[in-house]
Amino acid sequence: MLDIHRLEKSDLSAIDIRSLSPEEWHAVKREVVRRAHAERATMAREAIARLRAWWGNRTQERSAQAQPAGRLRHFPTARTSA
């Protein structure tokens, strides 16, 4: 019987699929799908981490470049006497 969980990445490409029983074929297929899902999840987490780091650096740069607005202009309004 083929022990799928002990196979390395390179071992999966060396398997002769035609020699596998239907149960072994389904086990190999499940393992390939499991590894693909795990790899996709890792890539998504890394991409999100890179975006957060980029966005954080960008907002820090913006706040460092921001200059105080100075004094606000005062526009007089019509006064009514009570």
Domain assignment present for 11 = no
Q: Residue 47 belongs to what domain range?
A: 22-62
Domain assignment present for 12 = no
Residue 57: the pLDDT is: 78
Domain assignment present for 54 = yes
Domain assignment present for 52 = yes
Residue 10: the pLDDT is: 60
Please list the rounded mean pLDDT of every run of 10 residues in the chain (82 residues).
63 80 89 92 96 83 65 64 59
81 to 66, 74, 77: CA distances (angstroms): 42, 20, 13
71 to 25, 49, 50, 76, 78: CA distances (angstroms): 75, 40, 39, 15, 22
Residue 79: the pLDDT is: 66
Indicate the pTM of the whole model: 0.55
Residue 33: the pLDDT is: 92
49 to 54, 63, 64: CA distances (angstroms): 9, 21, 23
